Structure 1
């Protein structure tokens, strides 16, 4: 049903800023990962694995939050759901700065992840629901850039706070006040239950119950494997460099630091590259990623590895928004939030199982060398690329 003929100003910079600000925090652990050694000293009576669990447990919380996000959104609407998730993450994110017991920090970190899981699906559905395709692809690319910029800012702030104490590092999550204010001020509540078609608001049918289909599940599985194989870089490259006497773990860390810049550049370039490459976008950049991963084990210098990692990071920054854009084609009407939640579950499962996948693959193939695992991931990307050709033709996708 038409709610009015007044065009929606989808080109409003303030509306775009408010929607993109939801993606300021896309990483659940980067900002505070440097506290692990200090926490190990503080919790000397706690096992090392349990201390490290404090950094990764938010991922489990994200899965729970993602599941309930749609239910909350149906009751409160998009805007209040986003604000609720951001506020939950803010409150529980800073608790370790004031309460030092292990159970309190464990619970706060889990709930921090739940808050992230609540608002993150809406960072995508807002873009796909209220912006036309011309602007949508641009914002999906910018979303990655905004997340990278947010990570960079929080890492920068955390670098100062950790010099005060590991407790103080968790104050970095006060940064979430920024998206809370921007969403509250610049994202209208009236856009909760509308989609925009040809510049006009169309009210969502409240009788439509969110649903899913095989296309959405298929896309979630593709995201899972993309995340799984790309994880070979973060999981195996440092060990490969040390084992091959190319460089130290510190050298690998410095290389990874440049990936933030890659994400920013690829996010900005995505719209234009998607226009040039069209329906072959994912295939081209998955094949390029495959070439880079296969080449990594044979590189014998830090500069060469740096270039290869940067190319892989750039490609990943194109593949992700390209796959995200397909959610519009697959998602049933009125179900974008549920679709996004399913996709995020696939991504998080890919991250969680990656270490065990490569461990099992090494045992099966009889070679657990880190470089060989990266090469195997490259071969898997070739399979993904050709599968994408099949999917694009079968489903008549435009990107």
Structure 2
């Protein structure tokens, strides 16, 4: 098998970009301190500080595709990291004004949005074949590793006060240095072009819209867990903000391990893999709603953490099976936009769910989430079982929905 001449320094430098992609959510553990710092703002507004960058990321994912026609990939990555670094650390050094902090978070999203799709496409640019597939798998692990590590560091920085977690974006500077030092401007040997790189008319069909709608709902609920968890811990005196941040990190690490185990799990459960992912989140939400103490809350958070990679991996794997011919790029972009939009709307969903049960309890939204997820798991599980039974009766076709 032919491999590239690039060493691990170059590969690690390229993969390190992916560690920054979910850094916008690293300040989730600091939300209780931010709520106290800005009592004039509603809880929903303050929680938006954790998810607002995704709004800008949605726009920049689209814009970066047009910019790439006239600006080099290397220049876009360097610009994106610089923008993310500057706007990410502004709240630590320069301001205590809530709306300036919100603006800086939008700026962070612009920077991260510029590098979001490039973190994937650059691997395809420099590598091919099995080497490219291996690095794509490593990239997913680096995303989870970055989210968990940065969340843990943000918790430690809380010792400096509510400004502290914003200092973590200084860590983007070493990533920039690595990228400039070890990633060449152009590949020594161009990788084999992907079929989807050929100009073609692409379209979106009903199954892709269903996947997008499903992920919009479920990712909104999962994000609600990460956004609200630290407030539940501190308000109920279950633990400190540092403990909340540590729990979020462990929760993400559990998800990373599930991501590594997904392939084997999928070979066993096939179409019911998604049902299991939804059930993980269902059980997690009910445990968080009922939690009388920190250990039970921890269990709910960790079970919820198993759900996200299971659902995401299954759905993104399914895209290539159900999308129209030669439309994988467009369909993937549509699903990505839906996921990012769901993250942005998570605080509003938390507020709406509390209104539905007429409760001010921070845990009340998770009763609504648990009930909705139970219905989703039941409907999809029965549908998948029906499709499996139907296909098993077709001569010569023993395939189970994947």
Q: Does TM-score exceed 0.5, indicating one fold? A: yes
**Contact 1:141-1:266 within 8 A present in 2 as well:** no
Gaps of 5+ in 1: 1-5
**Contact 1:145-1:263 within 8 A present in 2 as well:** no
Once the two structures are TM-superposed, the CA of residue 181 in structure 1 deviates from its matched residue by: 3.5
Does structure 1 residue 313 correspond to structure 2 residue 308? no
Does structure 1 residue 261 correspond to structure 2 residue 257? no
For these two proteins, the number of residue pairs brought into alignment is 384
Stretch moving more, 86-95 or 164-173 = 164-173
Equivalent in 313, 317, 320 of residue 325 of structure 1: 317
Does structure 1 residue 61 correspond to structure 2 residue 20? no
Deviations 1:64-120 (A, max 9, x none): 222212112233354443333222212322333443373654433211111111211
Gaps of 5+ in 2: 391-398
Aligned 1:275-286 pairs, distance under 5 A: 275-286=267-278
**Contact 1:141-1:269 within 8 A present in 2 as well:** no
Q: Name the CA distance, whole Å, in 2 between partners of 1:104 and 1:61.
A: 15
Does structure 1 residue 76 correspond to structure 2 residue 71? yes
Deviations 1:371-399 (A, max 9, x none): 522422431441574388399989x9974
Q: Name the CA distance, whole Å, in 2 between partners of 1:104 and 1:66.
A: 23
TM-score by length of 1: 0.73
C-alpha RMSD of the superposition: 4.6
Q: Name the CA distance, whole Å, in 1 between partners of 2:88 and 2:141.
A: 23
Does structure 1 residue 146 correspond to structure 2 residue 142? yes
Structure 1's 390 and 73: CA in aligned 2 closer, same or farther, altered over 3 A? farther
Structure 1's 94 and 180: CA in aligned 2 closer, same or farther, altered over 3 A? same
**Contact 2:148-2:248 within 8 A present in 1 as well:** no
Once the two structures are TM-superposed, the CA of residue 313 in structure 1 deviates from its matched residue by: 0.8
Q: Name the CA distance, whole Å, in 2 between partners of 1:242 and 1:34.
A: 11
Aligned 1:1-399 pairs, distance under 5 A: 7-9=2-4, 13-14=8-9, 16-25=11-20, 26-31=22-27, 34=30, 37=33, 41=37, 47=41, 54-100=49-95, 102=97, 105-126=101-122, 132=129, 136=133, 142-159=138-155, 161-164=157-160, 167=163, 169-187=165-183, 189-190=185-186, 201-202=192-193, 208=199, 211-214=202-205, 215-234=207-226, 247=238, 255-294=247-286, 297=289, 302-329=294-321, 330=323, 333=326, 336=329, 338-360=330-352, 369-383=364-378, 385-386=380-381, 389=384, 399=402
Q: Name the CA distance, whole Å, in 2 between partners of 1:388 and 1:83.
A: 47
Counterpart position of 2:396: none
**SS of alignment partner, residue 117 of structure 2:** helix
